[in-house]
């Protein structure tokens, strides 16, 4: 347990939300509290504009900038917080899913007017797969939103997680008066002080005190007492273990843009959020406290500027101490590698680091040695698992427009898919190449990069599939299925069999007709189709 105090200090997490719910604004407020930025707007200017769907070059340019904000590390009280950024644009959702494999917990932002939205559900599904602890922040309370009880009910139903309010709003919209902190019995009024400090919180001896009338008026004081009576009747005292197991989500209400309710959220976060957790490899579970260094690559960022062909591989440290200029074992390639300029991201500056600890993320310059999921160790042969590929949503056939450049095209598409830009499938028993992505934008990115970086011109032909399922089961039955459904069966890059379904109806029909075959939504065969 050489590094116990370093490990205990670290909280590695991500803020996730449906676009527009307030992720960027909340990130910024956290960084302000952590002293990592001095002015509001500093993060926002780096944000990928979510509506700029037509101009992918601009998006890539901004993605370039966003390397610097991929990991934002800051100190708050006695903790070291690593906040991993996730792209707001829905076409980069797969980047977000992968980033979620590198965090120990998440804060989920929900817009109180819109409630649970499509992307919220998808992100939560990924969190549930890994039992990631979730804290929910219900944002934009300064707007006329939905009734908070209804919101909690919707969250429980749509996100399949139990909730427990740790703060409670007093009205909303124009009449928003503030929040009552359920666990430490204090009240923070909205308006006068938007940089809430500890002194702004008024301690409430008990809910019958006339102090509440003084602070928010009779009508709202009565409403708060009524709400609290209901809440106390429904919820038991906060069960931290249930939160850490990913079964219970504490809920906070506030307004990110007004910096309201954020400090309370952050203070609770550092108290309850987990420090680096144990992680599974294909051989055994590794705890953060082990002396020997291990880590895995969860994201690769390529520079689209053709003058700079370098890539950055993001390595999450899982155990031991990572040191600069030290040889580590690259398990997949079975070779030793070392890094002279690994960097971290303290206070939004890229700094070369000499050492890093579990929970930290370091950026490694890469010339093509890494792919997503690669593991580094001090020699032990094992690979971190649980960094699965998820089913893409759009499928297109890759058409080679220049037969003289076939080799370049093949190499290019392999490298780009190693980076996780898209998934590559090959027709079973044939040679047709099918690319699967989450968003249309990636196809433009691929086309552009294949031409710029590999000199290979290509185009795409849209295919009518909507989902990919990895299939497994009785060998004879699978072989029969493959023969019968040949037009729909492809191989992924690891040669696994994948069924491409045209619609939910087809998928359900095939499942019913083939009870001996299992259909999985991830390539690690861990998550069966619901
Ligand atoms: P995202 O990263 O989740 O996509 O959301 P982002 O923080 O960019 O917020 C989306 C919009 O919601 C922004 O307005 C932001 O100012 C606003 N917002 C965030 N928190 C609150 C809040 O507590 N109350 C209210 N009323 N609005 C909030 P925008 O007009 O899109 O951008 P901007 O011009 O304000 O920067």
Reported confidence tier of residue 462, pLDDT bands at 50, 70, 90: very high
As a whole number, the mean pLDDT across the chain is 88
Distance 16 CA to ligand 1 centre (A): 14
pLDDT reading at 473 higher than 60: yes
Q: Which atom of ligand 1 is nearest to the CA of 143?
A: 26
What tokens appear for 183 in the block? 């666990």
Assess whether the C-beta atom of 19 lies below 6 angstroms from ligand 1. yes
Classify residue 388 by its DSSP letter.
P
Share of the chain above pLDDT 90, in %: 60
Percent of the chain whose pLDDT exceeds 70: 89
Which CATH code of 3.10.580.10, 3.20.20.370, 3.40.50.300, 2.60.120.10 fits the domain covering 2-272? 3.40.50.300
Q: Which of 69-78, 196-205, 513-522 has the lowest mean pLDDT?
A: 196-205
28 lines ligand 1 (CB under 6 A): no
Q: Whose CA is nearest to atom 24 of ligand 1?
A: 140
User: For atom 31 of ligand 1, which residue has the closest CA?
Assistant: 20
Substitution candidate for ligand 1 out of 14, 17, 22 with most atoms within 8 A of CB? 22
The Å distance, Cα 24 to ligand 1 centre, comes to 8
Q: How confident is the model at residue 53 (pLDDT cuts 50, 70, 90)?
A: very low
420, 94 Cβ separation under 8 angstroms: yes
Distance 57 CA to ligand 1 centre (A): 24
- Is the minimum distance from the CB of 27 to ligand 1 under 6 angstroms? no
Cα–Cα distance measured from residue 510 to residue 499, given in angstroms and rounded to the nearest whole number: 10
Confidence of residue 70 (pLDDT cuts 50, 70, 90): confident
How far is ligand 1, taken at its centre, from the CA of residue 20, in Å?
A: 6
Q: Nearest CA to 179 among 195, 190, 164?
A: 190
Residue 184: what pLDDT?
83
- For a pocket test of ligand 1, which of 256, 261, 262 has the largest count of ligand atoms closer than 8 A to its C-beta? 256
Most confident among 5-14, 182-191, 226-235, 411-420 (mean pLDDT) = 5-14
Domain boundaries along the sequence of the chain: 2-272, 279-377, 394-520
Ligand 1 and 17: CB distance under 6 A: yes
Here the tokens at position 302 are 């390529």
Each residue's pLDDT tens digit, 353-396: 889 999 999 999 888 889 999 999 999 999 999 778 888 999 99
Q: Is 255 in the pocket of ligand 1 (CB under 6 A)?
A: yes
Query: Does ligand 1 lie within 6 Å of residue 24's CB atom?
Result: yes
* Ligand 1 mutation target, pool 25, 62, 119, 145, most atoms within 8 A of CB: 25
Please tell me the residue having the least CA distance from ligand 1 atom 9: 22
pLDDT at 87 exceeding the cut of 80? no
For residue 255, the ligand 1 atom closest to its alpha carbon is 23
Q: Is the CB–ligand 1 distance for residue 44 below 6 Å?
A: yes
Pocket perturbation via mutation, ligand 1, pick of 15, 20, 85, 106 by most ligand atoms within 8 A of CB: 20
Q: For the residues 53-60, what does the mean pLDDT come to?
A: 52
Q: Tell me the CA–centroid distance for residue 149 and ligand 1, in Å.
A: 23
Tell which CATH architecture fits domain 394-520: 2-Layer Sandwich (3.30)
> 300 pLDDT band (50/70/90 cuts)?
confident
DSSP labels for 322-374?
EETT--EEETTTTEEE--S--EE-BTT--EE-SEE-TT-EEEEEESS---TT-
User: Given pLDDT bands bounded at 50, 70 and 90, which one contains residue 52?
Assistant: very low
Please work out whether the CB of residue 148 comes within 6 Å of at least one atom of ligand 1: no
Q: What share of the chain is helix, strand, coil (3-state, %, to 5)?
A: 30, 30, 40
- Residue nearest ligand 1's atom 22 by CA: 140
pLDDT, mean of residues 460-484: 96
Residues 528 and 283: their CA atoms lie apart, in Å, by 23
Q: How far is residue 42's CA from residue 32's CA, in Å, rounded to a whole number?
A: 10
pLDDT at residue 41 greater than cutoff 70:
no
Q: Ligand 1 centre and the CA of 26: distance in Å?
A: 9
pLDDT band at 256 (very low <50, low <70, confident <90, very high): very high
Ligand 1 atom 16 nearest Cα? 257
Of 350 and 127, the structure prediction assigns the larger pLDDT to 127
Burial of 53 (C-beta count, 10 Å sphere; 0-12/13-18/19+) = middle
Residue 260 alpha carbon, nearest atom of ligand 1: 23
Q: Indicate if ligand 1 lies below 6 Å from the C-beta of 172.
A: no
List beta partners, residue 352: 343
pLDDT at 240 over 70: yes
Please tell me the distance between residue 43's alpha carbon and the centre of ligand 1 in angstroms.
Answer: 12
CA 56 – ligand 1 centroid, Å: 22
The predicted model scores a pTM of 0.88
Q: Check whether 72 has a pLDDT greater than 90.
A: no
The pLDDT score that the predictor gives to residue 345 is 66
**Ligand 1, atom 25: closest residue by C-alpha:** 140
Please state the length of the chain.
530
279-377: CATH class: alpha beta
**pLDDT, tens only, 478-487:** 999 999 999 9
Range from 87-96, 319-328, 379-388, 447-456 that averages highest in pLDDT = 319-328
pLDDT confidence of residue 38: 61
C-beta of residue 189 within 8 angstroms of C-beta of residue 215: yes
pLDDT band at 48 (very low <50, low <70, confident <90, very high): very low
pLDDT at 526: 85
CB contact at 8 A, 470 and 520: yes
Is residue 120 in contact with ligand 1, taking CB distance under 6 Å? no
Domains 2-272 and 279-377 belong to one CATH topology: yes
CA of 134 to the centre of ligand 1 (A): 22
Question: Rounded to the nearest whole angstrom, what is the distance from the C-alpha of residue 39 to the centroid of ligand 1?
Answer: 16
Distance 21 CA to ligand 1 centre (A): 7
Question: In this structure, which residue's CA is closest to atom 26 in ligand 1?
Answer: 140
Q: Nearest-5° angle of CA 113, CA 438, CA 245?
A: 65
pLDDT in tens, 312-351: 899 999 999 999 999 999 999 999 999 998 887 655 566 7
In this prediction, residue 54 carries a pLDDT of: 43
């Amino acid at each position: 347990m050489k590094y116990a105090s370093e490990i205990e200090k670290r909280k590695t997490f991500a803020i996730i939300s449906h676009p527009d719910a307030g992720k960027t604004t909340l990130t910024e407020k956290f960084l302000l509290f952590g002293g990592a930025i001095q002015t509001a707007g500093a993060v926002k200017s780096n944000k990928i504009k979510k509506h700029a769907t037509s101009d992918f070059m601009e998006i890539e340019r901004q993605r370039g900038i966003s390397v610097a904000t991929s990991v934002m590390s800051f100190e708050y009280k006695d903790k070291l917080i690593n906040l991993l950024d996730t792209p707001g644009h829905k076409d980069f959702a797969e980047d977000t899913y992968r980033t979620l494999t590198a965090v120990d917990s998440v804060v989920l932002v929900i817009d109180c007017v819109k409630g649970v939205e499509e992307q919220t559900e998808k992100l939560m599904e990924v969190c549930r797969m890994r039992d990631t602890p979730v804290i929910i922040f219900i944002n934009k309370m300064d707007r006329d939103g939905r009734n908070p009880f209804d919101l909690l009910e919707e969250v429980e139903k749509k996100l399949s997680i139990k909730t427990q309010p740790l703060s409670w709003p007093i009205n909303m919209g124009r009449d928003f008066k503030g929040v009552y902190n359920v666990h430490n019995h204090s009240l923070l009024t909205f308006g006068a002080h938007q940089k809430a400090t500890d002194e702004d919180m008024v301690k409430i001896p008990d809910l019958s005190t006339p102090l509440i009338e003084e602070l928010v008026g009779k009508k709202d004081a009565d409403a708060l007492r009524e709400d609290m009576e209901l809440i106390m009747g429904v919820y038991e005292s906060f069960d931290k273990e249930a939160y850490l197991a990913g079964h219970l989500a504490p809920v906070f209400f506030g307004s990110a843009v007004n910096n309201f309710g954020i400090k309370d959220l952050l203070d609770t976060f550092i108290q309850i959020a987990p420090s680096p957790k144990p992680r599974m490899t294909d051989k055994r579970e590794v705890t953060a406290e082990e002396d020997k260094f291990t880590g895995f690559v969860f994201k690769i960022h390529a520079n689209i500027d053709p003058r700079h062909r370098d890539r950055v591989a993001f390595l999450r440290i899982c155990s031991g101490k990572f040191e600069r200029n030290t040889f580590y074992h690259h398990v997949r390639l079975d070779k030793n590698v070392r890094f002279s300029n690994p960097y971290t991201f303290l206070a939004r500056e890229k700094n070369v680091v000499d050492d890093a600890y579990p929970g930290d993320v370091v950026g490694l310059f890469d010339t093509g040695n890494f792919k997503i999921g690669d593991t580094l160790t001090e020699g032990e042969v094992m690979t971190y698992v649980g960094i699965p590929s998820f089913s893409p949503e759009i499928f297109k056939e890759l058409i080679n427009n220049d037969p003289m450049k076939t080799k370049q095209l093949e190499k290019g598409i392999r490298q780009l898919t190693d980076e996780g830009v898209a998934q590559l499938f090959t027709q079973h028993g044939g040679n047709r190449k099918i690319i699967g992505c989450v968003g249309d934008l990636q196809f433009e990115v691929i086309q552009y990069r294949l031409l710029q970086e590999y000199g290979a011109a290509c185009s795409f032909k849209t295919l009518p599939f909507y989902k990919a399922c990895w299939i497994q089961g009785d060998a004879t039955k699978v072989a029969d299925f493959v023969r019968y459904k040949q037009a729909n069966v492809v191989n992924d890059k690891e040669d696994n069999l994948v069924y491409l379904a045209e619609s939910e109806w087809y998928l359900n029909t095939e499942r019913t007709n083939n009870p001996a075959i299992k259909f999985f939504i991830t390539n690690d065969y861990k998550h069966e189709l619901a």
